[in-house]
């Protein structure tokens, strides 16, 4: 029910915008996170947006470069990635949990996962 898209090949310093769209699930009152998994490495959390008030959180290595946002009209969450580095190369996944009637950010468990989209940063 979650569909991640927008990955591709980009040169260092370039930008991409990932999208996480949902079917059968309303995202505005869910907590959404983006994760990534690079080859040979464990999955790591990249960014979170909270349910109900859209507070955001970022992993240190992407602060100032990535922006997570939500468009309720399109039922979609985005991850705008700027100043991309080769170390950002990974499969990116979106995950959601909810719905919640209160503010939740970066929950420990997620009931919904997207299928992943590959981001390759290389010259």
From first to last of its 123 residues, what are the pLDDT tens digits of the chain?
A: 899 999 999 999 999 999 999 988 888 899 999 999 999 999 999 999 999 899 999 999 999 999 999 999 999 999 999 999 999 999 999 999 999 988 999 999 999 999 999 999 999
Token couple for 51? 């349910």
Helix (H) or strand (E) holding 90: strand 90-97
What is the reported pLDDT for 88?
98
Tell me 108's DSSP state.
Answer: S
The pLDDT of residue 78 is 98
> Hey, which residues does 71 pair with through a beta bridge?
76
pLDDT at residue 1, rounded to an integer: 87
CB 66 within 8 A of CB 57: no
């Amino acid at each position: 029910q979650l569909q991640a898209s927008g990955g591709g090949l980009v040169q260092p310093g370039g930008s991409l915008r990932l999208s996480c769209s949902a079917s059968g699930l309303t995202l505005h009152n869910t907590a959404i996170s983006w994760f990534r998994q690079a080859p040979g490495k464990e999955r790591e959390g990249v960014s979170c947006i909270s349910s109900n008030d859209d507070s955001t959180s970022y992993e240190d290595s992407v602060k100032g470069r990535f922006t997570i946002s939500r468009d309720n009209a399109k039922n979609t969450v985005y991850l705008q990635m700027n100043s991309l580095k080769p170390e950002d190369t990974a499969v990116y996944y979106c995950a959601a949990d909810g719905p919640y009637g209160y503010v939740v950010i970066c929950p420990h468990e997620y009931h919904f996962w997207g299928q992943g989209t590959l981001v390759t940063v290389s010259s």
